Structure 1
Amino acid sequence: MWYNGLLDLPVWQLILVALALTHVTIVSVTLYLHRHSAHNSLDLNPVLSHFFRFWLWLTTSIVTKEWTAIHRKHHAMCETENDPHSPVVKGLKKVLTEGSELYAEAATPETLERYGQRTPQDWVERNVYTRHRTWGITLMAVIDLLLFGVNGIWIWAVQMMWSPVWAAGVINGIGHYFGYRNFECADNARNIVPWGILVGGEELHNNHHTYPNSSKLSRRWYEIDIGWGYIRLFQLFGLAKPKGYRPIAHRVPGKLAVDVETVQAIANNRFDIMRQYRKRVLEPVLRQQKQVVEKDIKPVYSRARKLLFRETSLIKPHDQKHLDSLLDNNAVLRQIYDKSQELQELWRRRGLKSNEKMQALVEWCREAEDSGIRYLEEFAAHLKSYALRPA
């Protein structure tokens, strides 16, 4: 006779229990390891923080310092040879199937020393969670067997594979390979789906790489970050304090002049600004030029649209040839494309003083207003209305 455990439940209830247990693990990863430890975008009450540490020890054997250091290095070296888990460099298959192994390989003393600062170093962390990392998952196996009997074997197996498959594999792999982009950040990060539920909101990977210090990962009205929902819930009980989730810049009705604050505001909100440039200038002008584009140049409209909006550092050489050909054959598209690059150059240039940046933006707006392109003229007025949001 098989031992049925202290909780003799039907199969459908056991499945729900397994999903609930793995969901706690995902919440622990996204709130504690990712938003709190790696990016410092979320303050957690010590009691809640330690619960997450303990749960991750039971279900993943993850060491906070190692995970934090590797993730910070990923952001610092994204899509380069030094990126610990870039599918662009290492290949999608390797990241999907060997995500945990890549983490283990990347946890070198040099990486931990450089990127592992400000992580827990108390007695429990040193002598239990780090020194005896495998004790936790062993204890979890015993607990599952006691509670669920023979069914505890597959429940434990699901718990052990959940984080490596979903977090290490899917987010680090698919999240840099397939999906949609709200913002043209300088790496290949993508939002897998707009509903961040299965992986706690981490599905919104492009949003995160664009604003890594924000505790809220959703950016569009239709996007769901379930991790943000938990943060708000914990905040009600004084257990969490989110940081960096409010836009730094806002628009002031009636503001018609460029000043130093305008420059600071659009620099701090630059990815949203360029997204608005795409919707307010590039897209309507391209629609006007659609027949010309499809007649004079291949690729046709849909591909031209993609290349015009793409972050320049991510355009492949053969696509760059298509883009150059498109712009050489259309003076209007060339003008609005060049203006978008000039605008981005304002915050890429290092060493310019605030007044120099302000004068450069004034000149950009003047040229846009004199361009004879209505959409550019209107966007110049749109830029002038920006200011810093009061603290």
Structure 2
Amino acid sequence: MTVQSLSSAPIGEQPLILSWRNVAFFSAVHALALLAPWFFSWSALGVTIALHWLFGSIGICLGYHRLLTHRSLQVPKALEHTFALLGALALQGGPIFWVAGHRLHHAFTEDVDKDPYSARRGFWWSHMLWIMYPRPEFFATETYRKYAPDLARDPFYTWLDRYFLLLQLPLGLLLYALGGWSFVVYGVFVRVVLLWHTTWLINSATHLIGDRTFKTEDGSRNLWWAALLTFGEGWHNNHHAYPKVAKAGWKWWQVDITWWAIQSLKVLGLAQKVVMPPLQAETTK
């Protein structure tokens, strides 16, 4: 059953209810990240950068997005599960939740009711307020699982979707053992906040500003600086024009670090059926 058929009935404008639990959680993580000046070290900053790439580019961009959401490539199941685990460590939700929401975003892009983070509700809604005002059709487990049935059938993804938050505990203990509280503050809280906001820019900024190469029906745009911050995801107009293509940056100058990782997997024989851009595509003049 397709996403469209599952959501064919009109939802209608619904009252928004603020989740104080979500507000408290996200405020606490941001507050702890503000401890960074008192725990600074160059090695801790290096941990932030390394984990930002590992959990962001490999976990979210490659794993959650291009692999699980769009099936732009195939990898061995054990490797697929590893990428999903890295994505869960990014603290952006479990794989079923994340994939379901993003599939709805593509099926109903910018629809104020059916797109979880519709840009038509404004920058701050698509950036983060959609999380502070969670709607049950997007956040209730029994509902969003319908939009990612391929993942919901896998016991590992069901487990990861339920317990992803707890993964920060062994990560925090490991970081503490390696570098004390400095590594914990930078490797967990600074890294999480940085990755949250760079990822959210794809929902917000790249639907408002930037260049439009393809004639899509939505407001998606290519935004170079967002692409640099998100390992290639900022070439968003390219992506919305051809969502299943594994490569986001099509031009030689469109830096797409996640694509470099996919290329490496392909060379090693670990990535198969990699979806490439069409030889000819209709573009705007």
TM-score when scaled to structure 2? 0.77
Residue matched to 2:216: 185
Once residues 209 and 197 of structure 1 are traced to their aligned partners in structure 2, the CA distance between those partners, rounded to angstroms, is 18
Once residues 258 and 166 of structure 2 are traced to their aligned partners in structure 1, the CA distance between those partners, rounded to angstroms, is 28
Paired residue for 1:132, among 163, 186, 209?
163
Task: Determine if contact 1:201/1:224 at 8 Å carries over to the other structure.
Answer: yes
Once residues 200 and 99 of structure 1 are traced to their aligned partners in structure 2, the CA distance between those partners, rounded to angstroms, is 23
Is residue 2:76 matched to residue 1:45?
yes
Task: Determine if contact 1:85/1:102 at 8 Å carries over to the other structure.
Answer: no
Paired residue for 1:153, among 184, 187, 202?
184
Greater Cα offset, 140-149 or 178-187: 140-149
Task: Determine if contact 2:66/2:72 at 8 Å carries over to the other structure.
Answer: yes
Once residues 148 and 22 of structure 1 are traced to their aligned partners in structure 2, the CA distance between those partners, rounded to angstroms, is 17
How many residues align structurally? 242
- CA positional deviation for 1:139: 2.0
Paired residue for 1:218, among 246, 249, 252?
249
Once residues 209 and 255 of structure 2 are traced to their aligned partners in structure 1, the CA distance between those partners, rounded to angstroms, is 18
Q: Which amino acid aligns with 2:42?
A: W
Residue matched to 1:237: 268
Once residues 212 and 121 of structure 1 are traced to their aligned partners in structure 2, the CA distance between those partners, rounded to angstroms, is 23
Alignment of 1:73-92 (within 5 A): 73-81=104-112, 82-88=114-120, 90-92=121-123
Q: Which amino acid aligns with 1:125?
A: Y
Paired residue for 1:162, among 194, 209, 213?
194
Residue matched to 2:101: 70
Once residues 43 and 192 of structure 1 are traced to their aligned partners in structure 2, the CA distance between those partners, rounded to angstroms, is 28
Change (3 A) 1:74 1:153: same
Once residues 230 and 104 of structure 1 are traced to their aligned partners in structure 2, the CA distance between those partners, rounded to angstroms, is 35
Task: Determine if contact 2:87/2:95 at 8 Å carries over to the other structure.
Answer: no
TM-score when scaled to structure 1? 0.57
Q: Which amino acid aligns with 2:150?
A: R
Paired residue for 1:112, among 145, 166, 169?
145
- CA positional deviation for 1:52: 1.4
Task: Determine if contact 1:87/1:173 at 8 Å carries over to the other structure.
Answer: yes
Change (3 A) 1:123 1:80: closer
Residue matched to 2:23: none
Task: Determine if contact 1:183/1:207 at 8 Å carries over to the other structure.
Answer: yes
Change (3 A) 1:52 1:68: same
RMSD over aligned CA atoms reads 2.4
Corresponding residue SS for 1:183: coil
Greater Cα offset, 48-57 or 227-236: 48-57
Task: Determine if contact 2:224/2:234 at 8 Å carries over to the other structure.
Answer: yes
- CA positional deviation for 1:101: 4.0
Alignment of 1:52-67 (within 5 A): 52-60=83-91, 62-67=93-98
Residue matched to 1:142: 173
Q: Which amino acid aligns with 1:24?
A: L
Q: Deviations over 1:302-360 (max 9, x none)?
A: xxxxxxxxxxxxxxxxxxxxxxxxxxxxxxxxxxxxxxxxxxxxxxxxxxxxxxxxxxx
Return the structure number with greater strand share. Answer: 1
Once residues 253 and 92 of structure 2 are traced to their aligned partners in structure 1, the CA distance between those partners, rounded to angstroms, is 35
Q: Which amino acid aligns with 1:22?
A: H
Once residues 73 and 129 of structure 1 are traced to their aligned partners in structure 2, the CA distance between those partners, rounded to angstroms, is 21
Once residues 43 and 244 of structure 2 are traced to their aligned partners in structure 1, the CA distance between those partners, rounded to angstroms, is 38
- Structure 2's unaligned 5+ residue stretches are 1-38
Change (3 A) 1:195 1:224: farther
Corresponding residue SS for 2:206: helix
- CA positional deviation for 1:210: 0.7
Corresponding residue SS for 2:204: helix
Task: Determine if contact 1:65/1:120 at 8 Å carries over to the other structure.
Answer: yes
- CA positional deviation for 1:15: 0.8
- CA positional deviation for 1:124: 3.1
